[in-house]
């Protein structure tokens, strides 16, 4: 019996070590605590909820992108979220997400839901392939909003399916278009993202769908 316990604990330690080397670290820093928005963040959202959301967004994105193994994913060891006194809403760069305390301070409506939806969008930028910088910005933003849509955090002011002027307009318009394409071919966005690992070509759409987009 003791032998069994010993081996079981060896296996568990090994498993923990294996997961440990692929695990992602998350950090949340509020640099705006002295502002109204920074105080509202601490009171109504908080670092714990933010961290949980970073973890669940990451797992959701890996699933949407069908990146079942670490070899399929971008090699990111740590993602840091900052609540900063700045204008705009949020942006992602260098594995950091910067969220506007001013936006949080001024937001009217369901703040936690909005915050969560924006984090899903920004977290997608951390994990998505960008064709080595060649993928058009509208498509990059559309994929990030597609993930937000599939996570059920689309805000009510978004365009409805079929609205918009051009498929590559970006954001909600492109997200709706990608959702339509996924109804034609299941897993479409995952496959498109995989193709963008090293470069970009509009032909990817034809390769996957047998149709051209423009």
Ligand X SMILES: *[C@@H]1O[C@H](CO)[C@@H](O)[C@H](O)[C@H]1NC(C)=O
Residues within the interface to ligand X (CB under 6 A):
36-37, 66, 68, 87, 102, 105-106
Q: Which is nearer to ligand X, 69 or 160 (CB)?
A: 69
The minimum distance between CB 167 and ligand X, in angstroms, equals 26
The minimum distance between CB 106 and ligand X, in angstroms, equals 4
Q: Which is nearer to ligand X, 35 or 174 (CB)?
A: 35
Q: Which is nearer to ligand X, 3 or 43 (CB)?
A: 43
Sequence-distant contacts of 132-138: CB under 8 A, at least 24 apart? 132/198, 132/199, 132/200, 134/199, 134/200, 135/196, 135/200, 136/168, 136/200, 137/170, 138/166, 138/168, 138/169, 138/170, 138/171, 138/174
Looking at the DSSP assignment, which residues form a beta bridge with residue 98? Answer: 82, 91
The minimum distance between CB 214 and ligand X, in angstroms, equals 29
Cα–Cα dist 37/111, whole Å: 11
DSSP 102: H
The minimum distance between CB 24 and ligand X, in angstroms, equals 19
Q: Which is nearer to ligand X, 37 or 117 (CB)?
A: 37
Cα–Cα dist 157/96, whole Å: 27
C-beta nearest to ligand X: residue: 105
């Amino acid at each position: 019996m003791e032998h069994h316990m010993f081996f079981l604990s060896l296996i568990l330690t090994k498993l923990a070590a294996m997961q440990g080397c692929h695990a992602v670290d998350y950090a949340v820093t509020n640099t705006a605590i002295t502002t109204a928005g920074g105080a509202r963040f601490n009171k109504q959202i908080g670092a714990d909820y933010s961290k949980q959301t970073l973890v669940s967004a990451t797992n959701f994105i890996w699933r949407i992108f069908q990146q079942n193994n670490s070899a399929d994913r971008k090699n990111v060891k740590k993602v840091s979220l900052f609540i900063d006194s700045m204008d705009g809403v949020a942006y992602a760069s260098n594995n950091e997400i910067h969220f506007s305390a001013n936006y949080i301070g001024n937001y009217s409506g369901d703040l936690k839901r909005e915050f969560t939806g924006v984090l899903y969008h920004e977290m997608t930028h951390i994990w998505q392939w960008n064709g080595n910088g060649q993928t058009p910005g509208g498509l990059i933003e559309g994929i990030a909003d597609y993930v937000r849509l599939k996570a059920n955090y689309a805000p009510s002011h978004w365009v409805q399916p079929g609205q918009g002027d051009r498929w590559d307009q970006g954001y909600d318009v492109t997200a709706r278009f990608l959702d339509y394409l996924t109804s034609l071919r299941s897993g479409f966005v995952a496959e498109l993202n995989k193709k963008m690992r090293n470069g970009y070509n509009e032909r990817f759409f034809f390769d996957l769908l047998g149709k051209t987009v423009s």
